[in-house]
Amino acid sequence: MISCSFCGKADVRVILTRGQSAICDECVFLAFDTISRQSGYFYQRVSYFLVRVVATVGRFLTLGAWRLRG
């Protein structure tokens, strides 16, 4: 089983891999959050906000809370 190279967790929603490295979605959010708090990183703050919006919508849709009515 693949585990995150940063936190060591294997039981997470998403793990991104590249070669011998892997990072979980929680560590990605933590990294974006840390970078977005630095001064002078406007574009990173905007991209972090967009990633959070997409992740929230995706989580909302996958939990089945959203149903198309037709």
Q: How would you label 24-50 residue by residue, b for 16+ Cβ within 10 Å and e otherwise?
A: beebbeeebeeebeeeeeeebbeebee
Amino acid identity of 5? S
Q: pLDDT tier at 68 (50, 70, 90 boundaries)?
A: low
pLDDT of residue 67: 53
- What burial class does residue 18 get, using C-beta atoms within 10 Å of its C-beta: 0-12 exposed, 13-18 middle, 19+ buried? exposed
Whole-model pTM: value is: 0.56
The span from the CA of 60 to the CA of 41, in Å, is: 29
Mean pLDDT of the chain: 78
Of 27, 25, 31, 30, the closest CA to residue 54 belongs to 25
